[in-house]
Structure 1
């Protein structure tokens, strides 16, 4: 087995402040960044705080920024770096630091709660739902999300503008709205819920300017921008500005005002 010593620069600190510290850590063939962080904990920094769980790229826990790019530490192989390269690991920049590489991502769970859940179709018992595969292929892609929140972290609307967080759900949860809006059995409209309107007015769809940075960092390869956000924007615009829709709404309002 080939081994070598690699230079690492790791952010240490808490909500009060901190900075980068330099370490030299042994690296073995086939290892990923998370392996090195664990070795660093075992040999030099036993109090280093890091969040992880599955080490298989499926739990989304070990999100961090590696050389400035949002990544999963467990899916970033050391072989992608030159042996004489300094590897810098910092916490997700878009969220408050708790300690070291651990950030407070509760913003995301608050936004998740703001998205209305799937509305079951009336008259169909649970377990009796039937759909054609062709009807769910696109929305099924979005179910691969592991909620690593790398897309949320890299989205500059969240990352660079703290003041936007109150009005903007971020790409992960706009994708959730898109998934529900595409669902062939979602009966939100029958319940008086217009998902396209809420995407625009309550979840900040208009803030997204489709730079595709969220798609670029997704470890599951979900085409967030092309398959979720752009189609949702198109449907929201059609709903709001289509002259036939406007005329239909006008006629319905007039009919309601004058039942004759």
Structure 2
């Protein structure tokens, strides 16, 4: 390792390959003060590996495109500073493990778009036009936390229900989209129930809420600091259980069926 002015040479191991297979390859790349991992990947492309495939867009931690696993932890490359690591450390970059590899660091995250389409949209309240909606500030604040999601899918990648069990993907939406269900269920203006849509029931029966065992790994990797587990998944679980086992709800459903 050699120092060059304020810079130094760092050792990287980067996964190269495609859906057919691949391997980790070693590189030595110059690093300068204040740089992030994505800067180094771009320098590597410019000087040693022009064909290295990597997905990125804003380089500001807002588009979620440059997700990868850095030393085994799901991170945004544009928000991971090189100062996080010692100069002697070898930095390993691999694609998101939970999703199929397209090439090098690029993965096929279409699973997430499929799950997004399975979550029914907000149902506007009857009798109110857009612009006439009114909410308490506390309700705005609660939803605003969830709306900070940049869909980097790091929470989806680190969730062991998806990461370690491919067979679960058909039945489990993952933390990002269960958070969306929770947001809509908490929304004071969502009129889903008037349309016969029970979001708590669908969270359990269609989106796999029961698979989540609240390990908080999704919260730990969220670059926006959203408390996915504490503020979305646990409250949704509590409401789903209350709904399922509330004797008054049970009695009401029986009466409704008899009337039908």
**1: CA distance, partners of 2:181 / 2:139:** 17
RMSD value, Cα: 0.7
| 3-state SS of paired residue (2:34) | coil
**1: CA distance, partners of 2:111 / 2:130:** 31
| Cα-to-partner distance string for 1:157-200 (whole Å, 9 max, x where unaligned) | 00000000000000000000000001111000011100000000
Q: Which moved more, 1:137-146 or 1:163-172?
A: 137-146
Question: If the length of structure 1 is used for normalisation, what is the TM-score?
Answer: 0.96
Q: Which ranges in structure 2 are unaligned for 5 or more consecutive residues?
A: 1-5
**1: CA distance, partners of 2:46 / 2:72:** 25
| Cα-to-partner distance string for 1:4-24 (whole Å, 9 max, x where unaligned) | 000000000000000100000
| Cα-to-partner distance string for 1:38-90 (whole Å, 9 max, x where unaligned) | 00000000000000000000000000000000000000000010100000000
**1: CA distance, partners of 2:227 / 2:136:** 22
**1: CA distance, partners of 2:125 / 2:252:** 25
**2: CA distance, partners of 1:64 / 1:250:** 50
Cα distance, 1:131 vs structure 2: 1.1
Cα distance, 1:128 vs structure 2: 1.5
**2: CA distance, partners of 1:101 / 1:253:** 53
Cα distance, 1:134 vs structure 2: 1.4
**2: CA distance, partners of 1:39 / 1:220:** 27
Say if 1:136 and 1:184, in contact at 8 Å, map to a contact too. Answer: no
**1: CA distance, partners of 2:159 / 2:143:** 21
| 3-state SS of paired residue (1:131) | coil
Cα distance, 1:227 vs structure 2: 0.2
**1: CA distance, partners of 2:64 / 2:105:** 14
Deviant stretches of 4+, over 6 Å = none
Say if 1:150 and 1:214, in contact at 8 Å, map to a contact too. Answer: yes
Cα distance, 1:138 vs structure 2: 1.4
**2: CA distance, partners of 1:36 / 1:50:** 12
Say if 1:178 and 1:232, in contact at 8 Å, map to a contact too. Answer: yes
Say if 1:53 and 1:59, in contact at 8 Å, map to a contact too. Answer: yes
| Cα-to-partner distance string for 1:93-134 (whole Å, 9 max, x where unaligned) | 000000000000000000000000000000101121111111
How many matched pairs? 253
Cα distance, 1:248 vs structure 2: 2.5
